[in-house]
Chain A
Amino acid sequence: MSYVKVSRRELTLAEKLYLPSILAGLKNTMSHLLRRGDNEITTMQYPEEKWDLPSYYRGVPVLVKDEDEREKCVACSLCEFVCPPRAISIIPKQIEGVVEKAPEVFDIDMLRCIFCGYCEEVCPEQAIFMSKEYEICGQTREELVYPMDKLYELGKTLGTDGGVKDAPKKWETLAREQGQQGLASDQDA
């Protein structure tokens, strides 16, 4: 036999009438309206209240400066090369000093960006970070190509000033990883 007959309980008169269960349902919803028990309003009043984002959140990629307000980016173009949707475009320029190079133009097209975080991972100078900014809006496509000064402005959201106070987290992570690697290679030797 390929099927089993399940005998169902015969419904009582009260159940067949629906009305008692309808009243129970009405009572239930009313208890929510009157906030009985642990019923709380779950609405987040968006522009005033915002999500408490986790530390690993990947929002808009931003540029940061160091403690002395110097550009950290050396226009090496690694992020430009690694960017999967080719959202980043950099034109380098020559500057005086040890670093020699800095970006003349550093644009990120937010319509193309997929927030993968590869640019942050690949950057040798810790100059680009994924921020927690997620409100991206504009009325034209051009408006959504974020230029360099806007990226530096957004970079300030990362720390209290200059934008580098929170940034060392990445270096700590890197140092920890490298330390472990170093440890591993020591053991190999």
Chain B
Amino acid sequence: MNPLLAQLTAAETDGWWAGFQAFFVAPENAWAVSLLLVLIVGKTIPGMVSLLVWVERRGAALLQDRLGPNRVGPFGILQSIADLVKFIFKEDVLPGHVNKPIFLLAPALAVIPPLVVLSFIPWGANVAIADVDTGILACFAFSSLHVYSVSLGGWASNSKYPLLGGVRAAAQMISYEIALGLSALSVFVIAGTLRLHDVVMFQTDGLTIAGTTYDALWARILDWNLFKQPLGAIIFLIAGFAETNRHPFDMPEAESELAAGYHTEFSSMKFALFFLGEYAAMIVMSSLFIVMYLGGWTFFGVENLLTDWVAEYGAANPGWINWPLIVEAHLHVGIFLGKLAFLLWFFIWVRWSLPRFRYDQLMSIGWKRLLPASLLWFALTAVGVALVR
């Protein structure tokens, strides 16, 4: 049974509306709720991506004293839709020299892993498509598949620049995945669980120092893993930038050296899918950062405002869908999306502020700085946790 509806027991069976509610309340129909969430998340992400592309272009322009796209719709907000229409009607060129099956597979592989990972993200209390106990492992397992789309896309193109871009991407993403994983590991050492929902709850249960639990606002703020794991958070963020091929680590598509890198040969909707995949990966990485370091859907007690109402309604109306619970879920998702918006803006802000690293600098940062730093931090965390327990 879906935990979202955990408070509901039996259902009345007269009338279509009661039948409708009974259908969703019945434990054996939990799949229907998941399917609903799949549809919502699956349809929202492309919309978010198109909005994000507009924010990126417009934000980039404003950071550079330009105006950016401002013609289509109010403030140019419909620009991405116009672009999408353009992509759909453009000729889909399939070059004769490519390895066709892999060439066709690569754009799909760019989109599927980020969308799969999004199903593990807890958007609110019990609002996740798949609330698995090994949440973070599943996330990393699927998000590391992203490297296949880039390297296979580059390789299947059978031309020089895409190949170089693909090779670079493979080396870069594998290098930074280690630092990413190690910094994430420290979080799970202190939280003592791999389930993302519990990691969020760990950040909101008040700060425990020397056996005393503090519940004041300052303690709630310091309870975020960002402040318990400052170095880990920075390493995770930097590695996350590299993992999503974003500036200042976008070597795989460094246009000054490699034309467009791994997606040079792709056109029309295949290119659009790579684009979608890149931005979806950004959303995934930001979501993971929020869940692990920024307290997920919680915001210093705001998330608990509706708890009493939910409990009352649940007690008064057994057997019915608990509508206040759904309102509360919206509140949680709203808080999450607010944090997501800030983090995505940070991605964009960094992109238009920093120059690209040189490739040897990229490798030396990954292997010589971030990896030892994350190992050291992991050791410190482990020792600290062992001493405290």
* Residues in chain A within 8 A of chain B (CB atoms): 19, 22, 25-26, 28-30, 32-33, 39-43, 45
Contacts and interface: CB of A to CB of B under 8 A. Distances in A.
A39 B65 contact: yes
Nearest to A44: B67
Contacts of A41: 65-67
B48 interface: no
A29 B59 CA distance: 10
Nearest to B248: A22
B259 interface: no
Given A33-B62, A40-B65, A43-B66, 13 more contacts: A22-B350, A22-B353, A26-B349, A28-B353, A29-B63, A30-B349, A32-B63, A39-B65, A41-B65, A41-B67, A42-B65, A43-B61, A43-B67
Interface string B33-75: 0000000000000000000000000010111111100000000
Interface string B309-330: 0000000000000000000000
B139 to A, nearest CB: 26
For the complex of A and B, 10 pairs with smallest distance between CB atoms: A43-B67, A29-B353, A25-B353, A29-B63, A43-B66, A33-B62, A26-B353, A33-B63, A42-B65, A39-B65
A45 B67 CA distance: 9
B87 interface: no
B209 interface: no
A42 B66 contact: yes
Contact of B64 (A19, A25, A32, A45): A32
A27 to B, nearest CB: 9
Contact of A29 (B66, B234, B349): B349
B60 to A, nearest CB: 10
B210 interface: no
Contacts of B354: 22, 25
Contacts of A42: 65-66
Contact of B65 (A22, A30, A32): A32
Nearest to B355: A25
A103 to B, nearest CB: 43
B65 A29 contact: no
A173 to B, nearest CB: 40
B240 to A, nearest CB: 15
A19 B67 CA distance: 29
Contacts of A33: 59, 62-63
Contacts of B59: 33
B183 to A, nearest CB: 15
Contacts of A26: 349-350, 353
A167 B233 CA distance: 71
Interface of B: 59, 61-67, 234, 349-350, 352-354
B243 to A, nearest CB: 18
A44 B104 CA distance: 41
Nearest to A19: B234
A29 B62 CA distance: 9
Nearest to A43: B67
Contacts of B61: 43
A25 to B, nearest CB: 4
A39 B66 CA distance: 10
Most buried by B among A30, A32, A40: A32
Contacts of B62: 32-33
Contacts of A19: 234
Contacts of A28: 353
A29 B67 contact: no
Contacts of B349: 26, 29-30
Most buried by B among A19, A25, A45: A25
B182 to A, nearest CB: 19
A33 B345 CA distance: 13
Contacts of B66: 41-43
A101 B64 CA distance: 59
A40 B62 CA distance: 10
A22 B61 CA distance: 20
A110 B255 CA distance: 36
A17 B6 CA distance: 49
A102 B352 CA distance: 61
Contacts of A39: 65
B326 to A, nearest CB: 37
B351 to A, nearest CB: 10
Nearest to B62: A33
A112 B354 CA distance: 45
Nearest to B71: A45
A23 to B, nearest CB: 10
26 contacts: A19-B234, A22-B350, A22-B353, A25-B353, A25-B354, A26-B349, A26-B350, A28-B353, A29-B63, A29-B349, A29-B352, A29-B353, A30-B63, A32-B62, A32-B63, A32-B64, A33-B62, A33-B63, A39-B65, A40-B65, A41-B66, A41-B67, A42-B65, A42-B66, A43-B61, A43-B67
A25 B346 CA distance: 13
A25 B65 CA distance: 15
A22 B353 CA distance: 8
Contacts of A30: 63, 349
A32 B68 CA distance: 14
B114 to A, nearest CB: 26
A22 B238 CA distance: 12
